[in-house]
Amino acid sequence: MELEEFLSPLPSVRARDAIVFGNDIISYDDLILKIEEIKSNLVNRNLSGNTIVFIGDYGSSAIATLVALWLCDNTVCMISKDKCDQVREISGLTGAAVVVDVTNDNAIVFTNIENESYESHNSEDETTHARAKFIIFSSGTTGSPKGIIHRVDNFTNLYRDLYSSPRKMLGFYFFDHMGGIITVLSTLASGGTLVIPQSRSPADVWKTIHAHEVEVASFSPSFINLSLASGIFHEASFPALKEVRFGTEPMNDITLTGLKAALPTVVISQLYGMSEVGVPPAYTNPSNPLELRFDPRFSDTKIVNGELFIRTTTMADGYVGKGNLPLTEGYFETRDLVQEDSSGFITILGRQDDLINVGGEKYVPSEIERVLISVPNVEDVAVYAVPHVLMGNVVGATFRLKEPEDPIELRRRIRWAVRDILKRGQVPQQIEIVEDQLYTDRYKKKRKSLTDNGNQRIQKNHV
């Protein structure tokens, strides 16, 4: 489906609110006019069929600019405002010659940039195109950004086929994240309202949900856990909220139970997605939200040695400078470890890359975390591999506590609490207590950085 066709129903909802940000309310009529104005500006600047670096976050100008860039068949390299230091590197990787900065929602800044370091790596450059595309970036194994190229029409086709009634959706995931892009496109597809919080702190997010009667919100489990710990659910109610979706990392039983207790009338569902495959529609098991089953209309899966392989209708075209996605018989190897039950529901256990090999036995960190977080006084915990001369690795665990506690006493309590639950190799051999949060600025567990740092931890409360 062409983007023009995808947007064609919008005039019929002109009077409806499209974007709410604080006291500012933008109707679909305002949004359509803004898209048309920006598109005209792009045409006058001859910015059609180009590769563009786009810097922005949720806002009416940012959304209108993104749509206008796509209407002009540009490939848009998505960067959030906290990643501005990567602009030159990304322009060098992609050949982008223009930066469009919409970090100030009241102004759109165009900047030309030279690409002396850019070289096309293929006979047909991946970023050349006749249709709108976007590129999202993740950290590669070398630390350099890895650009993943998607066609916009794959997503517009998906949301055309997934019609839903208009609802008020929270804009939470970052704009340069797959979750942010599908939030925008799914909201536009339904003629719904995108509600944007002042910041991504729990206080601002839940204040926004309450004040603007948000109906659907999506979060990471780390953010949900932080929200539960903040006490926000004791201070306000959210009668309009109908559904909370979680994704980006495994959910543990304690956080899920806490969320159900805090929002007993709200449907809790799970999202699964990756930068390479999009966020394929899935059914959440109503009796256990930790289990999901993919909609066979939009994806096909198989499990090989406990690892999920998937192909979707929103698969990426490939990587910048590295050609097509590496596929096995048409399936993408996710490196996510899963369990499947007899009814076809799967549980996401964690990443293959996060496995801890202790003397030849491999353990999934999230399974250990699900046990450790149930220990009294534990607010959050991250489990990771610690190098060991004899065993190869042992399990390490960094704790954030609800109340201060002597590390020796914590270690004693943990060993007692898990004695009949965890295997000997799963019991943490190195324990530390920190005051810092255990998630990144994008509310995902910091497990990788803790693993990479080995024995050098965030704070030296080492037992």
Lowest mean pLDDT among 69-73, 244-248, 319-323: 319-323
Answer yes or no: is 203 within a domain.
no
Domain count, the chain: 3
Which band of pLDDT confidence, cut at 50, 70 and 90, is reported for residue 66? Answer: very high
The answer to whether residue 127 scores a pLDDT higher than 80 is no
What strand order describes the sheet that includes 378-388?
378-388, 392-401, 430-434
Please compute the mean of the pLDDT values over residues 265-294 and round it to a whole number. 96
> What length does the chain have?
463
Is the same domain home to 367 and 323? no
Answer yes or no: is 283 within a domain.
no
Is the same domain home to 55 and 78? yes
Amino acid 346: pLDDT: 96
Answer yes or no: is 70 within a domain.
yes
Please compute the mean of the pLDDT values over residues 84-98 and round it to a whole number. 89
Cα distance between residue 228 and residue 238, in whole Å = 14
Which band of pLDDT confidence, cut at 50, 70 and 90, is reported for residue 451? Answer: low
Give me the domain span that covers residue 326: 293-353
pLDDT digits (tens, 9 = 90+) for 324-333: 898 999 999 9
Among 124, 154, 184, which residue terminates a domain? Answer: 154
Is the same domain home to 364 and 334? no
Task: Return the percentage of the chain with pLDDT > 70, whole number.
Answer: 91
Residues 326/309, Cβ–Cβ less than 8 Å: no
Cα distance between residue 346 and residue 87, in whole Å = 39
The enclosing domain of 391 has a CATH number of 3.30.300.30
Q: How many CB atoms lie within 10 A of CB 191?
A: 18
Is the same domain home to 23 and 136? yes
Is the same domain home to 15 and 91? yes
The enclosing domain of 101 has a CATH number of 3.40.50.980
Answer yes or no: is 92 within a domain.
yes
The enclosing domain of 307 has a CATH number of 2.30.38.10
Which band of pLDDT confidence, cut at 50, 70 and 90, is reported for residue 122? Answer: very low
Q: How many CB atoms lie within 10 A of CB 30?
A: 16
Is the same domain home to 17 and 141? yes
Lowest mean pLDDT among 50-59, 107-116, 320-329, 362-371: 107-116
Answer yes or no: is 207 within a domain.
no
Which of 83, 109, 82 minimizes the C-alpha distance to 98? 109
Which band of pLDDT confidence, cut at 50, 70 and 90, is reported for residue 1? Answer: very low
Please compute the mean of the pLDDT values over residues 131-138 and round it to a whole number. 92
Is the same domain home to 9 and 150? yes
Is the same domain home to 75 and 15? yes
Among 353, 371, 386, which residue terminates a domain? Answer: 353
Average pLDDT of the chain is 88
Amino acid 281: pLDDT: 95
pLDDT digits (tens, 9 = 90+) for 388-407: 998 999 999 999 999 999 99
Cα distance between residue 269 and residue 292, in whole Å = 9
Give the side-chain half-sphere CA count within 13 A for 458: 21
Paired with 327 in beta bridges are: 332
Amino acid 460: pLDDT: 42
Q: How many CB atoms lie within 10 A of CB 442?
A: 16
Answer yes or no: is 234 within a domain.
no
Please compute the mean of the pLDDT values over residues 137-148 and round it to a whole number. 72
Residue 386 carries which side chain, given as an amino acid letter? V
Answer yes or no: is 10 within a domain.
yes
Q: Are strands 307-312 and 331-340 parallel, antiparallel or unpaired?
A: antiparallel
Answer yes or no: is 91 within a domain.
yes
Among 154, 189, 218, which residue terminates a domain? Answer: 154
pLDDT digits (tens, 9 = 90+) for 157-179: 898 887 778 899 999 998 888 99
Lowest mean pLDDT among 93-97, 331-335, 411-415: 93-97
pLDDT digits (tens, 9 = 90+) for 146-162: 899 999 999 998 988 87
- Which tokens in the block code for residue 361? 């036995």
Is the same domain home to 414 and 308? no
Amino acid 462: pLDDT: 41
Amino acid 123: pLDDT: 35
The answer to whether residue 338 scores a pLDDT higher than 80 is yes
Is the same domain home to 345 and 434? no
Cα distance between residue 172 and residue 45, in whole Å = 32
Is the same domain home to 33 and 108? yes
Which of 387, 303, 295 minimizes the C-alpha distance to 337? 303
Give the side-chain half-sphere CA count within 13 A for 325: 23
Is the same domain home to 448 and 319? no
